[in-house]
Amino acid sequence: MSKIYPGQDFTITLDSEMALDAATILNIKYIKPDGTAGTKTAVASGNTASVAFVPSDTDSDDTGSWRFYIHAVIGGKTLFGETFKYDLTPIGQ
């Protein structure tokens, strides 16, 4: 993946070992560099979940190391995916 800068559109797509199409709840949760957590509703496609972050989202402007993971409810069971880490690069670097 190439660098992502504040104010730039980006989509996070995470893979799962389970089919996510049957999820009654499907989110990608994230933890910002300052430790603040958030949730975005995700879209399933087979074993993947994806969510778009756009510049109008004030929560996508913080540079540093972000962590993302899948949160799904399938058949009444709550499931979490592995954490994916990515750095949002300061402009000019």
Superfamily for domain range 10-88: Immunoglobulins (2.60.40.10)
Domain ranges of the chain: 10-88
pLDDT tens digits for range 58-77: 566 788 999 999 999 999 99
Q: Cα torsion at 3, 5, 8, 9 (round to 10°)?
A: 50
Quick check: 55 and 4 in contact, CB under 8 A? no
CA-closest candidate to residue 74, choices 29, 22, 17: 22
Rounded average pLDDT over 30-41:
90
pTM of the model: 0.82
Question: Between 29 and 6, whose confidence is greater?
Answer: 29
Structural contact between residues 26 and 20, judged by C-beta atoms closer than 8 angstroms: yes
Provide the CB-side half-sphere exposure for 53 (13 A, CA): 23
What pLDDT shows up at residue 49? 79
Radius of gyration of the chain (CA): 13
